[in-house]
A and B are shown apart, each in its own frame.
Chain A
Amino acid sequence: AQSVSQHNHHVILSEAASLELGCNYSYGGTVNLFWYVQYPGQHLQLLLKYFSGDPLVKGIKGFEAEFIKSKFSFNLRKPSVQWSDTAEYFCAVNALSQSSGYALNFGKGTSLLVTP
């Protein structure tokens, strides 16, 4: 069965620090990749996505992610975090095959706290 692993469960950074959150998946076929963000008390919102093409994708609020196919990774980055980036971040993988039910599988999430 496919799985999605997020390396860090809790991350604490100071404002202006750089951020990198790791995400690896275990599925050998074609995938669509996503990062979602959940601000406190809210539902999940799309941060960015990768379907094909340039493996470096840019999302909202200065976030970007790089798809490295050989490493089955889709890491999220931001050069300089702000207090308003405090949230939970979820990596998600959509295996594009009928056998997988086209299910969207989520990692367990990374809780980011940005301190002033």
Chain B
Amino acid sequence: NAGVTQTPKFQVLKTGQSMTLQCAQDMNHEYMSWYRQDPGMGLRLIHYSVGAGITDQGEVPNGYNVSRSTTEDFPLRLLSAAPSQTSVYFCASRLGGDTQYFGPGTRLTVL
């Protein structure tokens, strides 16, 4: 199993650009989520999904969009990047209430 994979690992954007962060898992987990990690703020939940076709907002959803067309994939879209979105983004997946597995992260800088 590859576990949870994320691409890209690093990205630099200009303000106003859009992009998609990719996330995939091969563990057949129904629950997937996106977090952003900022110094002193811990991990904050952006969006999550409890299964294909079902998504919901987390704590900090503004400026981000998600979709879940398959069990494996859960891309995160930045609609119009802003400097405040400079962060490290982690995708995660789990089965029910069990252990959550994290991807390696994407370090995003918005200039």
Contact = CB atoms under 8 A, between A and B. Distances in A.
B41 A103 contact: no
Chain B residues touching A, range? 20 to 34
Contacts of B74: none
Nearest to A43: B102
Given A90-B42, A102-B31, A32 B90 contact: no
Interface of B: 31, 33, 35, 40-45, 48, 50, 56, 58, 90, 92, 94, 96-100, 102-105
Contacts of B100: 34, 46, 92, 104
Contacts of B103: 43
List 6 tightest A-B contacts by C-beta distance, closest first: A108-B42, A106-B43, A43-B102, A44-B102, A32-B97, A109-B42
Contacts of A103: 33, 45, 48, 58
B40 to A, nearest CB: 7
A51 B31 CA distance: 18
Contacts of B45: 103-105
